[in-house]
Amino acid sequence: MGNETLTITDNRTGKTYEVPVQNGTIKALDLRQIKIGPDDFGLMTYDPAFMNTASCKSKITFIDGDKGILRYRGYPIEQLAERSTYLETAFLLINGELPTRAELEDWTYQVNHHTIIHENIKKFMDGFHYDANPMGMLVGTVGALSTFYKEAKNIHDPENRQKQIYRLIGKMITLAGFAYRHSRGLPFAYPDNELSYAGNFLNMLFRMTEPKYKPHPVLEKALDVLFILHADHEQNCSTNAMRSVGSSHVDPFSAVAGAAAALYGPLHGGANAEVLYMLDLIGTMNNIPDFIKSVKEGKGKLMGFGHRVYKNYDPRAKIIKHLADQVFEVTGRNPKLDMALELERIALSDEYFIKRKLYPNVDFYSGLIYQAMGFPIDMFPVLFAIGRTSGWIAQWQEMLMDGEQKIARPRQIYLGYDKRDYQTLDQRSATAA
């Protein structure tokens, strides 16, 4: 390698600066020395939505958007989806290595034995309106857990942190299950810790009067794979929220509530639900060409298409499409599948989508699977949140251990008024008149 530096000439002053290049980046703070005078604050970069700014160094998830590659701690997502389980993958993300048999047994035991929630949480679950959105309920209740586990604020104590991690992964499925049961007016179903993680979740959703719930093995496996596919995705909107909120050193329950709130939005975790609403709106195959036309005219987006990072294909979408076949063999084919396939076919051969590199993302088919499995649409983001919790925790811990990190605090370009004097209400009314 030659000289790993960047030479910058400031044409305003004629001065030249040399800044180091490391890992294909320059440090934004190295630009601060570039000034036009002693009173100048120094040069900054302007990067709304972090389009070209690395906010951290990470060893957790690798994505090559052009090649359609996704790896957790070096392991390809395809191998993890086929051979791992969600709890094993969660361990990998959080601890950096796949567990030994003894570690996995202990991890599974600990997570399973932290699924029960305090009975008071049931009370405020009951306080939600009968038609409250389950994702809103999840955001509220996961944040409220911090009031039950006050020691969770001791985030610099590794043993304490570990306990909150068991609690977060364990209780997430219980909160999600209770939110669903409340929205259906059903009695809460308690965890059954003899079941797998995904099986236990299905138990808390769908158990009726049977003494022991037995999940269908194909659906249980499919849900587990979906949790793996959603477990992490480097610096996405909700993970950025987790790191940003966590950088204030708040407890992890509050930080997860912030991350889950970010995931709630239709451009992020809400997109899988939007796909189903879109398919409902289109209604029949005959309406697809008109719908595509309206998207191209800028009258809306083709939900489940496009990605900030993937510009070739989303490897998760490929796995999900295959998974859909297995699920539909058990549940029967989702009637909306044909419409989705036709939308994909048209979009992938249409100049508008090709030019903008818009491909189906993880959400395009996941909603169809969830619906076939009996989940109502408003539960889809909740399912995303359950899987993503392990990624949020891994990224939060990495941020806490990183000596270069500080409280997140971006700069701004102020374009508002210069100083002006306060006017009384009478003066302002006179001016307005």
295 lines the binding site for ligand CMC (CB under 6 A):
yes
What tokens does 381 get? 């983001």
Q: Which of residues 253-292 bind ligand CMC (CB under 6 A)?
A: 267-268, 271
DSSP string of 61-121, one letter each residue: EEEETTTTEEEETTEEHHHHHHH--HHHHHHHHHHSSPPPHHHHHHHHHHHHTT----HHH
DSSP string of 222-290, one letter each residue: HHHHHHHHHS--SS-HHHHHHHHHHTTT--HHHHHHHHHHHHTSTTTTTHHHHHHHHHHHH-SGGGHHH
What tokens does 240 get? 């950025």
Applying CB under 6 A, the span of 26-34, 79-87, 297-305, 365-373 interacting with ligand CMC comes to 297-305
Cβ density class 330-348: b for 16+ within 10 Å, e for less = ebeebebbebbeebbeebe
DSSP 8-state secondary structure symbol assigned to residue 311: S
Residue sitting closest to ligand CMC (CB): 306
User: Is 131 considered catalytic here?
Assistant: no
Question: Can you give the C-alpha Rg of the chain in angstroms?
Answer: 24
Binding residues for ligand CMC, rule CB under 6 A, total 19
Angstrom distance (rounded) from CA 349 to CA 351: 7
**Choice among 363, 402, 418, 421 that is catalytic:** 363
Q: Which of 205, 358, 379, 394 binds ligand CMC (CB under 6 A)?
A: 358
User: Is 307 considered catalytic here?
Assistant: yes
354 lines the binding site for ligand CMC (CB under 6 A):
no
Distance between alpha carbon 366 and the CA centroid of its chain, in Å?
Answer: 14
Q: Distances in Å between the alpha carbon of 5 and those of 2, 8, 47, 83, 414?
A: 9, 10, 22, 43, 31
Q: For ligand CMC, which is the closer residue by CB, 307 or 321? A: 307
Question: Three-state SS for 416?
Answer: coil
141 lines the binding site for ligand CMC (CB under 6 A):
no
Q: Which of residues 169-208 bind ligand CMC (CB under 6 A)?
A: none
344 lines the binding site for ligand CMC (CB under 6 A):
no
Q: Which of 85, 146, 183, 236 binds ligand CMC (CB under 6 A)?
A: 236
User: Is 114 considered catalytic here?
Assistant: no
Q: For ligand CMC, which is the closer residue by CB, 99 or 266? A: 266
**Choice among 30, 192, 268, 350 that is catalytic:** 268
Q: For ligand CMC, which is the closer residue by CB, 133 or 240? A: 240
Angstrom distance (rounded) from CA 54 to CA 32: 17
305 lines the binding site for ligand CMC (CB under 6 A):
yes
**Choice among 230, 307, 314, 378 that is catalytic:** 307
224 lines the binding site for ligand CMC (CB under 6 A):
no
Q: Which of 303, 339, 372, 382 binds ligand CMC (CB under 6 A)?
A: 303
Q: Distances in Å between the alpha carbon of 113 and those of 157, 248, 257, 367?
A: 21, 30, 22, 30
Applying CB under 6 A, the span of 100-108, 189-197, 359-367, 398-406 interacting with ligand CMC comes to 359-367
372 lines the binding site for ligand CMC (CB under 6 A):
no
Question: Three-state SS for 179?
Answer: helix
Q: Which of 216, 301, 311, 333 binds ligand CMC (CB under 6 A)?
A: 301
Q: Which of residues 307-326 bind ligand CMC (CB under 6 A)?
A: 307-308
304 lines the binding site for ligand CMC (CB under 6 A):
yes
Catalytic residues: 268, 307, 363
Residues that bind ligand CMC (CB under 6 A): 233, 236, 267-268, 271, 295, 301-308, 356, 358, 361-363
